[in-house]
Chain A
Amino acid sequence: MKPFENLSSEVAHVCIWISLLFSSGCTSEFFVDKGQLEIFEGVEFHMSAPYLFEKKAFKLQGENLSVRQLRVISEAMPSISQFTNERLGNRPHHHFEVTEDARIRNIRQMQKLDAQTFLAVKTLQNWQVSEDKIQFTTDYFHTNKAGHFVTFRDNYLFLKINNQWTFKEHPQPAPEGVLACKKSAEGWMVCQEVTVKPAVTP
């Protein structure tokens, strides 16, 4: 009978949402994202412009990160979020030029995306962190010609050199590539690497 018990709270939830939606006085307060200070395990993360949504894509919980490791990520967040924004290459108006770095794999080229296709970032995760080294993966996504989301994963290694966090190399010789996404039992879309099973020889 759990669904019946949940129904009233679901209806209340929707009612609150709709009333908030239609109260014009609340709209600018509730729907404008000016960034915020978030605290995970006592470590401050400044979720603010520039690159606000690249910062919001950082998965910081459920990654088994210690306080020390979270501090390192917090310090590197501005550099990593700028780097991620440059990988997206969404420049309807060229207000700045990004110098191409031959060491960095080009997501648009690998995915054969034209300049008009909007490339977004979904999640930065799989953190491996030490005092002067951060390794992680980034999931990018775009809408393909059929109208479906395509999610693509690549891996990165950053080093702290002269107090600056900079891209060093791709820790893996190839990107993880296009992910397989399916609906979980809870109803969320979950994307995972496609593992190719080795052929069994008789």
Chain B
Amino acid sequence: MDPIVILQAGVASGTVLLFATIGEILCERSGVLNLGVEGMMLIGAMSAFSIALATGNPWLGVIAAILAGGLLSQVHAVIAIQFQADQVVSGLALTFLGVGLSLVFGEGLSKAGAVALLPAFSIPVLSLIPVLGPIFFTNQCVLVYVGYFSVPIVWYFINRTRPGLHLRAIGEFPAAADALGINVARLRHFYVFVGGMLAGLAGATISLAVSPGWFSEMTTSGQGWIAIGLVIFAQWDPLRAAFGSYAFGALRRLILDIQGPAQLLGVRNPFFYNPYWGFFLQMLPYAFTIVVLVLGSRGAVGKRLGAPAALGTPYVRGQRGI
């Protein structure tokens, strides 16, 4: 129950949520709500594991996961953008589809042998920083470091670049973007795809790094949904998303570890002596997600922030309201 170990593992676990959350942020910023993150993550996890198993190369697994997530997302994209159907139900359908296909194609995988994992390493100088070094820069999977980079890159992209300007515009007021010649549908397709790729990457992070293996639906156990909740908490901002993701990652790790030792901070560990109380611990991430949602919703009401104005609304050219 070493706090440094917990935080270190928490960062790794949080990276999963980070990829999924940032992917969904990009998708929602473009105006499309994609609730199928759980399905895309699962299919990413399954693809990564099975390809890595078949080829012995975990990087191929990562690529497979990214492609799988991206492809699956396009089903939702077509329905939401071209068919302009209700995005909530479409996202749910995507979850069913993703989970179902993962189970179908992943049949028999869990009985397979161990698979080559992604390389993990420490960063030379940075890992010597007291406290922060061991947590963030020591013996982390390569994807964790990718995660660190992704946060400022995505932030800068959204806020300081021309494509980022267009992204924000099509999510807030697509009619304005359309009138100036921006192809709203094509851009939205692209960002849904990006969201899918990142969700797939999140899945690969689980099955090839954080909790290696394939455990059917238990592989993700609701993290896709937690990611969607984190998007709201993050107020669609990558920096806050990072904070939330890593915090949640640490929480999940804490829940696992707290049941281990017989003594907790010098007193009898109730979770050790009553193992069934672990079920209440299991509830914590989900209860916390609800808390996080409440915080995110209230924060929005106060300032003039909130969801992208066009989120969830299909865009049709020539729609006038009289």
The answer to whether A binds B is no
